[in-house]
């Protein structure tokens, strides 16, 4: 009971309106309402139970995923849920499965790369689940280097068909989610060959399995690629392997919005940038940023609530021990992660806006913002997923020994989340893309070309290369202009340093290769500047609710000053701030942690997660952790019998043998 009281007391110390913070987090009152309804719908349905997930075998887990997906679809249809509601319902079911790829990549690929006619034909089938699709791009031999894919699609003018073929072992499709066991169709990326010429990678809709009995079609070899990291976790997904042996598809199953092959076999490229082929990846990368804030906020919610419940040391004269949340070290590890969850949420919203804006411009044949969309989605995907993966592990450690139990929810969350650093583009590969664009922008500065969008600050090169921070007290670091200037100067100076070093190499390519570790850091600095800028912009907006704006302001400062403290070397080496100013930033950070402390539990309550979605005995809303931990232990299959299976075979003979030996002595 004492623990329950603890969280109630924590909630009472909050200095802001939690209900209004829920609105700020979700984006609107409507969003809070819909999310609440969908979360409760899932939590109250026994089919969506997930507390036994880590104890299921792979086969059981996969069947459970099929069952949940079918039940979710049934509820979506029965309740006539809107697209927004259906997306949320699937999110709260919280079990990776083929439907993620069907809705998340197969449908968007057809929408983005199919002609109107193709969309008209294929989308209704996908919308009604008459076909199930996946996104088959990566191969055994190549993932990052898309141009290196080997699968071929050779046009045969005699039959008006493409022949899809896997010429080598390394050309086997490898990894696509939903491919292994569930999908009937795939968007397959292959080298288009017509009239004897290789035109590079294009997308094709290919049927893989019979719609009658689900068996692979002739010439198609299919299977699952095997168990993955962690128990439960991403093993609910059937990541697959696929080989083609001269499989024929009609010509009109090439996705022809960007380029076409005529009946005669002539290749025609529309007047659009060829990078639009990568559009589905750009779309998913922006949703992965929004998803990072969800995963991070879940981990932080668990760690904050448990840290308020957990007590160690400090008891005097039999009085209460100290809540571990009161230790300054716990705060300095946890509160930056709390601030990062909010930062990623807001930058995710902004990125979604940017993506929508770019999409509208593309429809009007305006391709000017394509590079900005690529740089922002690639860079933000890389930084937010890397931070989130590390942060989930840090939250596990923040929960001490109990964090290592499956029932804490953290091991599974980590195992599900960590591949986000790799899929949809390895984070290093993506940051190097950002670096390439930074170098291009720096090189254009001399010609007077004004950078735009998130690179616009580079236009202030004369000022930012020589400015000195005016900060002279810890409080000065609360001024957003001081923060903004320091971050801009750091990012620009790192990029310019890289460009200068590259220019001394024998060639641009060689210089880029040699300096790539520095370029990664420059790219991270640029992306951190974007995150800080968008958080500052958010806080400048009108935000209703008692104390809400003040809390967000504090979190924004925590985020920025934490990054400054963590990357102090960058700020000092580039001469943006002095060691004294660095020390003042750290002093201010300590004061901000003290400000966050009484609000911490309420700040994670504002995420509005149900206990079902959190899936953690440590993160329970009521804080009644110990009885739940105790009860959970007894549910383990090992505890089904008092004497374990194997006792008579292995333990008893061993003990008896030793006893016999001893008795002979």
Ligand X SMILES: Cc1cc2nc3c(=O)[nH]c(=O)nc-3n(C[C@H](O)[C@H](O)[C@H](O)COP(=O)(O)OP(=O)(O)OC[C@H]3O[C@@H](n4cnc5c(N)ncnc54)[C@H](O)[C@@H]3O)c2cc1C
Ligand Y SMILES: CC/C=C\C/C=C\C/C=C\C/C=C\C/C=C\C/C=C/C(=O)SCCNC(=O)CCNC(=O)[C@H](O)C(C)(C)COP(=O)(O)OP(=O)(O)OC[C@H]1O[C@@H](n2cnc3c(N)ncnc32)[C@H](O)[C@@H]1OP(=O)(O)O
Provide the annotated active-site residues: 424
Q: Which stretch binds ligand X (CB under 6 A): 79-87, 136-144, 443-451, 557-565?
A: 136-144
Query: What Cα–Cα distance (Å) separates residue 89 from each residue in 41, 81, 108?
Result: 8, 9, 19
Which residue from 135, 174, 562, 613 is in contact with ligand Y, where contact means CB under 6 A?
A: 135
Q: Specify the residue, 69 or 560, whose C-beta has the smaller distance to ligand Y.
A: 69
C-alpha span between 193 and 267 (Å, rounded): 9
Q: For residue 439, give the nearest of 379, 354, 367, 522 by alpha carbon.
A: 522
Partner touching 284 among ligand X, ligand Y, none, CB below 5 to 8 Å by kind: ligand Y
Provide, rounded to whole angstroms, the least separation between the CB of residue 557 and ligand Y: 29
Q: For residue 248, give the nearest of 223, 218, 268, 222 by alpha carbon.
A: 218
Partner touching 291 among ligand Y, ligand X, none, CB below 5 to 8 Å by kind: ligand Y
Provide, rounded to whole angstroms, the least separation between the CB of residue 142 and ligand X: 6
Calculated CA dihedral for residues 452, 486, 491, 542, nearest 10 degrees: -40
Q: What is the DSSP letter of 146?
A: G
Does the footprint of ligand X cover residue 137 (CB under 6 A)?
yes
Annotated ligand binding at 177? The verdict is yes
Burial of 228 (0-12, 13-18, 19+ CB in 10 A): middle
Provide, rounded to whole angstroms, the least separation between the CB of residue 474 and ligand Y: 39
549-569: buried (b, 16+ CB within 10 Å) or exposed (e) per residue? bebbbbbbbbbbbbbbbebbe
Contacts of 120 (CB under 8 A, 6+ apart): none
Which residue from 144, 210, 450, 658 is in contact with ligand X, where contact means CB under 6 A?
A: 144
Partner touching 239 among ligand Y, ligand X, none, CB below 5 to 8 Å by kind: ligand X
What x/- string results for residues 264 through 283 when contact with ligand Y is judged by CB under 6 A? -----------x--x--xx-
Helix (H) or strand (E) holding 240: strand 240-244
Q: Specify the residue, 137 or 236, whose C-beta has the smaller distance to ligand X.
A: 137
Q: Answer for the pair 410, 228: CB distance below 8 angstroms, yes or no.
A: no
Q: Answer for the pair 386, 427: CB distance below 8 angstroms, yes or no.
A: yes
Q: Answer for the pair 505, 514: CB distance below 8 angstroms, yes or no.
A: yes
Partner touching 100 among ligand X, ligand Y, none, CB below 5 to 8 Å by kind: ligand Y
Q: Which stretch binds ligand X (CB under 6 A): 131-139, 252-260, 297-305, 368-376?
A: 131-139
Which residue from 101, 140, 164, 602 is in contact with ligand X, where contact means CB under 6 A?
A: 101
Total residues at interface with ligand Y (CB under 6 A): 30
Which residue from 112, 177, 240, 379 is in contact with ligand Y, where contact means CB under 6 A?
A: 177
41-78: buried (b, 16+ CB within 10 Å) or exposed (e) per residue? bbeebeebebeebbebebeebbebbbebbeebbebbee
User: For residue 260, what are the β-bridge partners?
Assistant: 268
C-alpha span between 169 and 175 (Å, rounded): 14
Closest chain position to ligand Y (CB): 104
Q: Specify the residue, 109 or 258, whose C-beta has the smaller distance to ligand X.
A: 109
Q: Specify the residue, 119 or 287, whose C-beta has the smaller distance to ligand Y.
A: 287
Ordered DSSP codes for 588-630: HHHHHHHHHGGGHHHHHHTT---HHHHT-STT-TT--HHHHHH
C-alpha span between 560 and 340 (Å, rounded): 9
List alpha helices for 228-327, DSSP H: 279-309
Provide, rounded to whole angstroms, the least separation between the CB of residue 36 and ligand X: 30
Partner touching 374 among ligand X, ligand Y, none, CB below 5 to 8 Å by kind: ligand Y
Q: What is the DSSP letter of 103?
A: I
- Structural tokens at position 152: 């071929």
Ordered DSSP codes for 37-65: HHHHHHHT-GGG--TTGGGS-HHHHHHHH
Q: For residue 277, give the nearest of 206, 207, 190, 164 by alpha carbon.
A: 190
Segment 148 to 207, residues that bind ligand X, using CB under 6 A: 175-177
Segment 385 to 444, residues that bind ligand X, using CB under 6 A: 419, 422-426, 428-429, 432
Partner touching 370 among ligand X, ligand Y, none, CB below 5 to 8 Å by kind: ligand Y
Q: Which stretch binds ligand Y (CB under 6 A): 133-141, 211-219, 245-253, 543-551?
A: 133-141
Which residue from 109, 110, 249, 288 is in contact with ligand Y, where contact means CB under 6 A?
A: 288
Q: Which stretch binds ligand Y (CB under 6 A): 35-43, 93-101, 255-263, 353-361?
A: 93-101
Provide, rounded to whole angstroms, the least separation between the CB of residue 418 and ligand X: 9
Segment 405 to 434, residues that bind ligand Y, using CB under 6 A: 423-425, 429, 433
User: For residue 221, what are the β-bridge partners?
Assistant: 243
Q: For residue 605, give the nearest of 133, 26, 1, 5 by alpha carbon.
A: 26
Partner touching 275 among ligand X, ligand Y, none, CB below 5 to 8 Å by kind: ligand Y
Which residue from 39, 88, 89, 101 is in contact with ligand Y, where contact means CB under 6 A?
A: 101
Q: Specify the residue, 429 or 467, whose C-beta has the smaller distance to ligand X.
A: 429
Does the footprint of ligand Y cover residue 370 (CB under 6 A)?
yes
Q: Specify the residue, 115 or 275, whose C-beta has the smaller distance to ligand Y.
A: 275
Q: For residue 359, give the nearest of 287, 288, 279, 424 by alpha carbon.
A: 279
Q: Specify the residue, 411 or 419, whose C-beta has the smaller distance to ligand X.
A: 419
> What residues make contact with ligand X under the rule CB under 6 A?
101, 135-138, 142-144, 175-177, 234, 239, 419, 422-426, 428-429, 432
Bind-site residues: 138, 177
**Residue set of the binding site for FAD:** 138, 177
For binding to ligand Y (CB under 6 A), which residues are involved?
96, 100-101, 104-105, 135, 137-138, 143-147, 177, 275, 278, 281-282, 284, 287-288, 291, 370, 374, 423-425, 429, 433, 437
């Amino acid at each position: 009971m004492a623990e329950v009281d603890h969280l109630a007391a924590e909630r009472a110390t909050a200095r802001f309106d939690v209900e209004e913070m829920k609105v700020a987090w979700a984006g609107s009152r409507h969003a809070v309402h819909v999310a609440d309804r969908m979360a409760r719908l899932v939590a109250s349905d026994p089919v969506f139970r997930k507390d036994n997930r880590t104890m299921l075998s792979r086969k059981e887990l996969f069947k459970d995923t099929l069952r949940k997906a079918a039940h979710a679809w049934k509820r979506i249809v029965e309740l006539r849920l809107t697209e927004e509601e259906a997306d949320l319902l699937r999110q709260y079911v919280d079990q990776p499965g083929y439907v993620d790829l069907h809705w998340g990549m197969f449908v968007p690929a057809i929408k983005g790369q199919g002609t109107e006619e193709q969309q008209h034909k294929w989308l209704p089938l996908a919308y009604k689940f008459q076909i199930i699709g996946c996104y088959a791009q990566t191969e055994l031999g190549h993932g990052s280097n898309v141009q290196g894919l080997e699968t071929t699609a050779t046009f045969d003018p005699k039959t008006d068909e493409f022949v899809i073929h896997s010429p080598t072992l390394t050309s086997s499709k490898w990894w696509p989610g939903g491919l292994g066991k569930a999908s009937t169709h795939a968007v397959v990326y292959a080298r288009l060959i017509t009239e004897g010429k290789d035109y590079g990678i294009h997308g094709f809709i290919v049927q893989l399995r019979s719609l009658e009995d689900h068996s692979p079609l002739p010439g198609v070899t299919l299977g699952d690629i095997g168990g993955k990291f962690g128990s439960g976790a991403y093993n609910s997904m059937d990541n697959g392997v696929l080989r083609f042996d001269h499989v024929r598809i009609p010509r009109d199953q090439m996705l022809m919005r960007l380029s076409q092959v005529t009946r005669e076999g002539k290749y025609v490229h529309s007047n659009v940038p060829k990078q639009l082929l990568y559009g589905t990846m750009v779309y998913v990368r922006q949703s992965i940023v929004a998803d990072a804030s969800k995963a991070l906020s879940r981990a932080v919610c668990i760690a904050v609530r448990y840290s308020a419940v957990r007590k160690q040391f400090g008891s005097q004269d039999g009085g209460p021990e100290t809540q571990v949340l009161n230790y300054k070290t716990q705060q300095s590890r946890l509160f930056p992660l709390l601030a990062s969850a909010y930062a990623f949420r807001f930058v995710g919203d902004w990125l979604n806006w940017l993506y929508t804006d770019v999409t509208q411009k593309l429809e009007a044949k305006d391709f000017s913002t394509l590079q900005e969309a690529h740089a922002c989605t690639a860079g933000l995907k890389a930084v937010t997923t890397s931070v989130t993966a590390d942060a989930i592990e840090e939250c596990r450690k923040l929960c001490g020994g109990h964090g290592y139990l499956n029932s804490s929810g953290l091991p599974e969350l980590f195992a599900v989340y960590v591949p986000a650093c790799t899929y949809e583009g390895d984070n290093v590969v993506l940051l190097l893309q950002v670096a390439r664009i930074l170098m291009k922008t720096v090189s254009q500065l001399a010609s007077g070309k004004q950078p735009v969008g998130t690179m616009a600050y580079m236009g202030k090169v004369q000022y930012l290369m020589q400015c000195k921070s005016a900060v002279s007290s810890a409080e000065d670091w609360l001024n957003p202009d001081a923060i903004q200037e320091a971050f801009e100067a750091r990012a620009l100076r790192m990029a310019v340093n890289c460009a200068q070093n590259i220019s001394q190499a024998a060639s641009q390519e060689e210089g880029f290769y040699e300096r790539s570790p520095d370029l990664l850091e420059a790219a991270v600095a640029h992306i951190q500047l974007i995150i800080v800028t968008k958080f500052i912009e958010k806080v400048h907006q009108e935000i209703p609710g008692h104390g809400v704006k003040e809390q967000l302001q504090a979190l924004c400062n925590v985020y920025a000053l934490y990054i400054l403290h963590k990357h102090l070397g960058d700020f000092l080496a580039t001469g943006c701030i002095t060691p004294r100013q660095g020390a003042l930033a750290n002093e201010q950070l300590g004061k901000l942690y003290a400000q966050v402390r009484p609000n911490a539990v309420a700040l994670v309550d504002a995420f509005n997660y149900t206990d079902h979605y959190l899936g953690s005995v440590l993160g329970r809303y009521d804080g009644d952790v110990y009885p739940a931990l105790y009860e959970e232990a007894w549910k383990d299959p090992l505890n089904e019998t008092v004497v374990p299976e194997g006792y008579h075979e292995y333990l008893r003979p061993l003990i008896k043998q030793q006893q016999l030996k001893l008795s002979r002595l």
